[in-house]
A and B are shown apart, each in its own frame.
Chain A
Amino acid sequence: MAFQVRPLVLSTLSAGLALAALLSACGGGDDATGWATDSAGSVTLQFEAVAGTTPVSCGSTITGLGSTSKSAQIQDLRFYVSDVQLIKADGSTVPLTLATTDDNNYADANGSVSLITLSQAGTGACTTGTLNTAIQGTVPAGRYVGVTMTLGVPMGLNHLSSTDAATPAVLRSDVNPSMSWNWRGGRKFTKIELQSTEAGNPVTLLHLGSTGCVGDPANGVPITGCTAPNRLTLSFADFDPARQQIALDVQSLFAQQNFSVTNSCMSSPTDAGCVSDFAALALNFNPDGTGTGTAVAGQTQTVFKAMSR
Chain B
Amino acid sequence: MTALSCLRPVWLLVLAVVAGVVTGCQRQPAATSEVAPATSTAATATATATATASAPAAPASPSLPSPSASAVQAASDWTWDLPDYLPPPRVPADNPMTQAKVALGRYLFYDTRLSGNGTQACTTCHLQKLAFTDGRAHGLGSTGQLHPRSPMALGNVGWNATYTWANPALITLERQMTNPIFGETPVEMGVNDRNVKQILQRLADDPAYAPRFAAAFPQDPAGRPTWDHIVKAVSSFERALITTNSKYDQVRQGRARYTASEARGYALFKSADCIKCHQEPNFGGQFLSVATVKPDVSFHNKGLYNLDGQGAYPAESPGVIEITGKASDMGMYRAPTLRNIELTAPYMHDGSVATLGEVIDLYAAGGRGAGKDSPLKSPLLRPRHFSAQDRADLIAFLKTLTDHQFIRDPRYSAPFPAAPKKS
A residues contacting B by CB (< 8 A) are 121, 127-129, 160-167, 172-174, 176-178, 180, 182-185, 211-223, 227-228, 266, 268-270, 288-291
Contact = CB atoms under 8 A, between A and B. Distances in A.
Interface in B344-399: none
Nearest to B324: A212
Contact of A166 (B71, B227, B288): B71
B51 interface: no
B172 A222 contact: yes
A290 B200 contact: no
B325 A289 contact: yes
A213 to B, nearest CB: 5
A211 B325 contact: yes
A121 B170 CA distance: 31
Contacts of B170: 183, 185, 215
Contacts of A220: 22-23, 25-26, 90, 92-93, 171-172
Nearest to B219: A165
Contacts of A164: 66, 68, 94, 228
Contact of B169 (A127, A184, A228): A184
A183 B183 contact: yes
B168 interface: yes
A221 B92 CA distance: 10
B314 interface: no
Given A220-B25, A270-B321, A166 B68 contact: yes
A286 B105 CA distance: 43
Given A174-B228, A178-B192, A214-B323, 19 more contacts: A121-B193, A127-B194, A163-B227, A164-B68, A165-B71, A165-B228, A172-B227, A174-B196, A174-B226, A182-B179, A215-B169, A215-B170, A217-B286, A217-B288, A220-B172, A268-B322, A270-B322, A270-B325, A291-B325
B182 A182 contact: yes
A20 to B, nearest CB: 44
Contacts of B327: 288-289
Which 8 residue pairs are nearest across A and B when measured between Cβ atoms? A269-B325, A289-B325, A185-B169, A166-B68, A217-B161, A182-B178, A215-B171, A128-B193
A216 B196 CA distance: 30
A188 B294 CA distance: 32
Contact of A177 (B167, B192, B228, B288): B192
A161 B23 CA distance: 16
Nearest to B178: A182
Contact of B175 (A127, A161, A266, A291): A161
